[in-house]
Chain A
Amino acid sequence: MSTAPEPLDHADEQAHRTRRQAEVVSALAALLPAHALLWRREETVPYECDGLTAYRQAPLVVALPETEAQVAAVLKACHALDVPVVARGAGTGLSGGALPHKLGVTMSLAKFNRIVKLDPLARTAVVQCGVRNLAISEAAAPHGLYYAPDPSSQIACTIGGNVAENAGGVHCLKYGLTLHNVMQVRGYTIEGEAVTFGSEALDAPGLDLLCVVIGSEGMLAVITEVTVKLLPRPRLARCVMASFDDIRKAGDAVAAIIAAGIIPAGLEMMDKPMTAAVEDYVHAGYDLEAAAILLCEADGTPEEVDEEIGRMRELLSRSGATRLEVSRDEAQRLKFWSGRKNAFPASGRISPDYMCMDSTIPRKRLADILLAIQQMEVKYRLRCCNVFHAGDGNLHPLILFDANSADELQRAELFGADILETSVALGGTVTGEHGVGIEKLSSMCVQFSPEERSQMLRLKAAFDATGLLNPGKVIPTLQRCAEYGKMHVRKGLLPFPELERF
């Protein structure tokens, strides 16, 4: 990374920062209207963090371009001045991907909020990067279409942020991630050159660069426009809610459904502490005695849904469900989901702070990881509620703690790292949909070898030779991993080692 060398002394550092700020402000003032350039401390406070509020950093400057020409000009100027650029959408990300760089420009793309074109016959929408996820489905609804990926923050999060993170949601087992639902993105390189990845067709010539750009957390290019696929809205959706007195039985029920050849539209699990927390919040009538609750959804034509719900009921009963309820109508279906969708705010009510993890494991390891987390609760003396996208093995353990106690914060961080490393050892990954950002940098040392990390750094350099786009995120340096001091867990060609603690 080639940002200007930083003096060591604090006073020197301050002076350096002030000088840099004046330089950047003067360069950008020539390119942007006055209201689109913020640098006074009181103006930049709202940009100091994203959804991961534990990490904060004042940006050097905030730029709010209103046109693509301004985006290109700001990038060119930053490139010329050797200033890092951090692109930012709605700031709802949970891994600190949009955390400012202390000597960098935070580029807010909030003003790019227009749906450029919606073509119902082609089933595509061309939208600017700052359009909210849910706004796309709302605009498509009159045509009987919708945009499938539905992260929990879909009311607020933007499509540009979804592209940066390769966002998922509760329906991605059946309908895929952002990657599977985006055809083309347009944006700018750090040099300020216009670039298009993907096409209006189902493939594009050359390497499939869309695959690496989606999920690259703003480190390869700044995306300004996205062409998404729209799907026909299923005529009907119904949900089965099943209770289990044993977590292992619930895990086996998930496997049984998949083994029977059913791909549910949604397949979610909550453990007992989580169920108690959400019931207290939404009063949906959840079974408070259950060790685990499964929500299992079927969608399609009425005939198809009836057939699938019947098969799912039978499989759930056979797997030992102690209580089964099928949604009678749309209102009840939404009620079943209300608790799952409100897992985060519900956790916020029972604890001053919570830390949300996001690892993925092979489905068959669900019970193993849950039991391991129970042991970690004892070890770290902290409580943890668990919600899972059980269908695809994506876990969201919510570690409850009080950030006012430095000791609790530290224990929570160790607890989180332990969950991630255990997930990798079980054959999984440290992040399923929230991204690495700043939060999981150290855990990347465990998941990838030094050679793999070097390869990813060279990949970044192929797009951004100067390393100015969102530097310091996603891929840890070799030095950081050496300091972290934990071993890389082998995977791929060698059988992964079983951890002794199981």
Chain B
Amino acid sequence: MSDAALNRLIDRVQSARAAHAPLAIRGGGTKDFYGETPRGEPLAMGELRGITSYEPTELVVTARAGTPLADLEAALAEQSQCLAFEPPRFAAGGTVGGMVAAGLAGPSRAAVGGARDYLLGATMLNGHCEVLSFGGQVMKNVAGYDVSRMLAGSLGILGPILEVSLKVLPIQPARATLRFEWAQAKALSQLNSWAGQPLPIQASAWWSDMLVLRLAGAAAAVESAQRVLGGELIAAATADGFWTGLRDQKDEFFATAAKAVHAGATLWRFAVAQTAPPLQADGDQLIEWGGGQRWLVSTAPAAAMRALAQAAGGHATAFRGAKTGGVFTALSPVLQRIHRHLKGAFDPEHLFNPGRLYPDL
């Protein structure tokens, strides 16, 4: 890492600390909409950029937080490798640090894991302006608490991420996309029953009585699964466009949702048990992750959405749109206390991203 860029960043944080002026950590600004409203002066991470090390045979890449995600993905693609969890790119310019801090994952999440599962190590700055490294660049590491993985999805409240090491995987040699015309209940039950069999199902999406499946793996495995599953084979180019659109939330469902959000509705993200029955709610629904992630456009009150999520074994996030009623599901009193103490343990003066995850953190 360029020491000059790091030193400037530390100076900036030190003066903010001296002035008791909170900072809003900012990479590419592509996820400003996500979480509670950012507060504080922007702390620009863009200068800390570049891939520190990448060795394809180690399946590990280390990059500074401000590295454009597009640069990282291009470097991996040259070696036929990828970030298996398909982080969404809502707009051009997103960074590696922002990807980790948001902790979001794309269509393959249920099959391959999320951002935290691929995070092997991280270097961060805490509220005492100390540069700390946790985890490492190796696959197995149980030395001390796994602080680095906890940074995934932390929305910066523990401190800015400076550098991360990620596990990468080879791009699967073969892919196929199949389509079925099925109602929601049938699609959900079939998805769960398939997931219990050794089939190379890597992603799924159900919308508007249509189930789409992506198979990925060794050519032989994909071919034999196609024979077992049936359905209509979608042409590769069409299929790739669909999955990219879904991953980046640019496809028809999300485009329609954006219009509704503009008109005052909320786009809700439900993370629920994969086997949860169809959510009984009005509004358009898109289901991903084998039933585990469900998107719903609604004008219903937040409390009603949260009750629905709880009954389905999960939680609901006001992903886009109105934030009244809180963006994230409230924690139990014990977890609230632990969160407050953790914030104090890393950032006692509430310098970093105050209120971005929960109002009191």
Chain A residues within 8 Å of B, Cβ to Cβ: 119-123, 143-145, 165-166, 168, 172-173, 176-177, 179-180, 189, 193-196, 199-209, 211-212, 214-216, 220, 232-235, 255-256, 258-259, 261-263, 300-301, 303-304, 306-308, 360-364, 389, 392-394, 427-436, 440, 444, 447-449, 451-453, 455-456, 458-463, 465, 474-475, 491-493
- B160-174 interface code vs A (CB 8 A; 1 in, 0 out): 001100000111010
**4 A-B pairs with least C-beta separation:** A492-B133, A303-B220, A261-B170, A201-B314
Q: Is the CB–CB distance between B143 and A263 below 8 Å?
A: no
A-contacting residues, B206-242, CB 8 Å: 217-221, 223-225
CA distance A180 to B195 in the complex (A): 17
- B220 to chain A: which residues have CB within 8 Å? 301, 303-304, 306-307
Chain B residues with Cβ below 8 Å from A211 are: 116, 146, 149-150, 152
Q: Give chain A residues whose Cβ lies under 8 Å from the Cβ of B80.
A: 261
Partner of A462, one of B146, B193, B338: B338
Contacts of B219 in A (CB 8 A): 307
Known: A232-B196, A493-B131. 7 other contacts (CB 8 A): A180-B117, A301-B221, A303-B218, A432-B142, A433-B142, A436-B143, A436-B144
Please state if B334 and A195 are interface contacts (CB–CB under 8 Å).
yes
How far does the Cβ of A226 sit from chain B's closest Cβ, in whole Å?
16
CB within 8 Å for A461 and B345 given contacts A119-B275, A201-B273, A215-B142 = yes
Instruction: Say whether B140 contacts A394, CB under 8 Å.
Output: yes
B329 proximal to A (CB < 8 A): yes
Main secondary structure of the interface of A (DSSP, over half): loop
CA distance A177 to B137 in the complex (A): 16
- A123 near B195 with CB under 8 A, answer yes
Report the minimal beta-carbon distance from B85 to chain A, rounded to whole angstroms: 11
Query: Which stretch of B17-25, B38-46, B53-61, B245-253 is in the interface?
Result: B53-61
- Say whether A179 contacts B130, CB under 8 Å: no
CB-nearest residue of chain B to A457: B345
Task: Give complex CA distance A177, B120 in Å.
Answer: 12
Asked if residues B275 and A202 are in contact (CB atoms below 8 Å), the reply is no
Q: Which has the most chain A C-beta neighbours within 10 Å: B139, B153, B329, B335? A: B139
Partner of B132, one of A209, A234, A452, A460: A452
CB <8 Å contact, A121 and B1: no
Closest approach, in angstroms, between the C-beta of A224 and any C-beta of chain B? 15
Q: Which chain B residues lie closer than 8 Å to A179 at the CB level?
A: 117, 146, 149
Q: Do A433 and B140 have beta carbons less than 8 Å apart?
A: yes
Q: Are A204 and B339 neighbours in the complex by a CB distance under 8 Å?
A: no
Q: Is B197 positioned at the interface, with any CB of A under 8 Å from its CB?
A: yes
For A493, what are the chain B residues with a Cβ–Cβ distance below 8 Å? 1, 6, 123, 131, 133, 162-163
Give Cα A105 to B271, complex, Å. Answer: 39
B314 touches A200 (CB 8 A): yes
Provide the bound-state CA to CA distance between A263 and B158, in Å.
34
B residues in contact with A301, CB < 8 Å: 198, 220-221, 224-225
Q: Kindly list chain A residues whose C-beta atoms are within 8 Å of the C-beta of B224.
A: 301, 303-304
When distances are taken between beta carbons in the complex, the residues of chain A under 8 Å from B128 are 451
Given contacts A196-B332, A201-B272, A232-B197, contact A459 B109 (CB under 8 A): no
B142 touches A165 (CB 8 A): yes
Please give the distance in Å from A356's CB to the nearest CB on chain B: 15
Tell me if B95 is interfacial: C-beta within 8 Å of chain A.
no
Residue of A nearest to B162 (CB): A493
B34 within 8 A of A: no
B144 touches A463 (CB 8 A): no
Scan residues 303-352 of chain B and give those whose CB is less than 8 A from a CB of chain A: 313-315, 317, 328-332, 334-335, 338-339, 341-342, 344-346
Task: Please report which residues of chain B, range 112-152, place their CB below 8 angstroms from some CB of chain A when the two chains form the complex.
Answer: 113-114, 116-117, 121, 123, 126, 128, 130-134, 136-147, 149-150, 152
Kindly state the separation between the CA atoms of A385 and B132 in the bound complex, as whole angstroms: 35
When C-beta atoms are compared, the residue in chain B nearest to A361 turns out to be B138
With both chains docked as a complex, state the minimum distance between the C-beta of A187 and any C-beta of chain B, in angstroms.
Answer: 11
Q: Which of A176, A193, A392, A462 contacts B138 (CB 8 A)?
A: A392
Indicate if the CB atoms of B223 and A303 lie closer than 8 Å.
yes
**Complex Cα spacing A202 to B116, Å:** 12
Name the one of B58, B138, B293 contacting A432, with C-beta atoms under 8 angstroms. Answer: B138
- Is the pair A444, B335 in contact by a Cβ cutoff of 8 Å? no
Within the complex, what minimum Cβ distance (angstroms) separates B355 from chain A? 14
Taking a contact as CB atoms under 8 Å apart, the answer to whether B140 and A455 are in contact is no
Chain A residue with Cβ nearest B109: A202
Question: Is B94 at the interface (CB under 8 A from chain A)?
Answer: no
Please give, as numbers and ranges, the residues of chain A lying within 8 Å of B189 by CB-CB distance.
121
Within 261-294 of B, Cβ neighbours of A (below 8 Å) are at 271-275, 289, 292-293
Q: Of all chain A residues, which has the CB nearest B344?
A: A462
For the complex, is B103 an interface residue (Cβ under 8 Å from A)? yes
Assess whether A172 is in contact with B140, with CB atoms less than 8 Å apart.
yes
Cβ of B174 to closest chain A Cβ, rounded Å: 10
Min CB–CB distance B348 → chain A (angstroms): 9
Question: How far, in whole Å, are A215 and B358 apart by their CA atoms in the complex?
Answer: 26
Contact of B196 with A120 in the complex, beta carbons under 8 Å: yes
CB distance from A377 to the nearest CB of B (A): 24
Which residue in A212, A300, A394, A433 is a CB contact (below 8 Å) of B146?
A212
Query: Complex Cα distance A430/B143, Å?
Result: 6
CB of B192 within 8 A of chain A?
A: yes
Closest to B1 in A: A493
- Are B150's CB and A199's CB within 8 A? no
**The residue from A144, A165, A220, A456 contacting B196, defined by CB atoms under 8 A apart:** A144
Selected A-B contacts with CB under 8 Å, 19 pairs = A123-B192, A168-B140, A179-B149, A195-B334, A203-B103, A208-B103, A208-B153, A208-B154, A212-B147, A215-B142, A232-B195, A304-B217, A362-B55, A363-B57, A429-B140, A444-B144, A455-B346, A460-B145, A462-B338
Question: Contact: B133 with A452, CB < 8 Å?
Answer: yes
Cα separation A434 to B141 with both chains bound (whole Å): 9
Contact B221 A208 (CB under 8 A): no
Set A306, A392, A475: member contacting B139, Cβ < 8 A: A392
Residues of B within 8 A of A394 (CB): 138-140
Complex CA–CA separation, A300 to B225 (angstroms): 12
User: Which of chain B's residues have a CB closer than 8 A to the CB of A195?
Assistant: 332, 334-335, 338
Q: Does B357 contact A (CB under 8 A)?
A: yes
In the docked arrangement, what's the CA distance between A363 and B313, Å? 40
Cβ contact within 8 Å between B334 and A193:
yes
Closest Cβ of chain B to A493, distance in Å, is 5
Which residue of B1, B274, B293, B357 has the most chain A CB atoms within 10 A of its CB atom? B274
Mask of B88-126 contacts with A, CB within 8 angstroms, 1/0: 000000000000000100000110011011000101001
Taking a contact as CB atoms under 8 Å apart, the answer to whether A363 and B58 are in contact is yes
A308–B110 alpha-carbon span in the complex (Å): 24
- The residues of A that contact B192 with a CB separation of less than 8 Å are 121-123
A207 and B342 contact, CB distance less than 8 A: yes
| A176 and B126 within 8 A (CB) | no
- A38 to chain B minimum Cβ distance, whole angstroms, is 30
Q: Closest chain A residue to B56 by CB distance?
A: A259
Q: How far is the CA of A174 from the CA of B176 in the complex (A)?
A: 22
> Which residues of A sit under 8 angstroms from B218, Cβ to Cβ?
300, 303-304, 307-308
Contact, CB under 8 Å: B130 / A434: no
Known: A255-B57, A461-B341. A121 touches B331 (CB 8 A): no
B142 touches A435 (CB 8 A): yes
Q: How far is the CB of A253 from chain B (nearest CB, A)?
A: 11
A458 CA / B275 CA spacing, docked (Å): 39
